Amino acid sequence: MSDDSRTENVVKTFIESCSDVDLQQRIKFYDQWAETYEQDHKLLGYSAPHQMVDFLNANFSGSREEVLVLDVACGSGWVTKLMTELGFRKFVGVDGSKGMLEQAAKTGLYQDLRQVLLGTEPLLGQTDAFDVVMIVGALRDGFVPVSAVRELCYAAKPGGYVCMSRVDLKSESGAKYKACLEKELQLMEDEGLWTHVISQEMNRYMINVYNDRKDQHDDQYLYGTMYLYRKALH
């Protein structure tokens, strides 16, 4: 549903209202946001889904029609819609917000959709099940904890891909999250769980709605990093 009253400043103020809230409040926020989520993100120049899907597509060698994709923190289904345009056909989605899952269901693209609070509940209880695991926009301080990354790996089939994006917030907590995440990614590689395929910077993927906060630099855009890992065959 389109809302002509939405403007960039309205959306910025709305998103700011979700700062420094607990998990249950954040879930309620996303339930309320679901209907205008994509419209609002387009106002903010949100290109993360496009950048991530292009990143995967450029580095993926499997048969797109046959692979099973797990869309983690799937939101309204934006990533899956873009992947469908490139020939991917089989999707399972998980998200913490019931409202977002209702929007994702309207796409008609998912074989299954489930409500899961990452970091507090098991991802799906399915291991070695998916050819591709995608998570876009949720690896950041206050959202998906670093501890959940192992579940992404466990969900992938041996030889399957895990494609992730990290959001960089230029704050003390954001820097700490980045350091903890990169430490965990390296540790999992050292343990032989997966191998690093490629990483790439994600540039100017959204207008920085946080640049009025004291702990943020005055940058107009948010940035991040995209990662692709391949699960070990054993």
Q: pLDDT tens, 150-176?
A: 999 999 999 999 999 998 877 788 889
Q: pLDDT tens, 58-67?
A: 999 889 999 9
Closest by alpha carbon to 94, among 70, 68, 129? 70
**Total Cβ atoms within 10 A of residue 197:** 14
State mean pLDDT over 118-138: 87
How far the first Cα of the chain sits from its last, in Å, is 47
Question: Any bridge partners for residue 70, and if so which?
Answer: 92, 133
Check if the beta carbon of residue 209 is closer than 8 Å to that of residue 44: yes
Amino acid 148 reads A
Strand 90-95 relative to strand 194-207, pairing: unpaired
Q: What is the pTM of this model?
A: 0.90
Most confident of 7-21, 95-109, 213-227: 95-109
Q: Higher-confidence residue: 46 or 17?
A: 46
Question: Which ranges in 65-220 belong to alpha helices (H)?
Answer: 78-85, 98-105, 149-155, 172-190
State mean pLDDT over 132-159: 93
Q: How far apart are CA 110 and CA 114, in angstroms?
A: 10
Q: Which helix (H) or strand (E) holds 134?
A: strand 130-139
Q: Which domains does the chain have, with CATH numbers?
A: 8-231 (3.40.50.150)
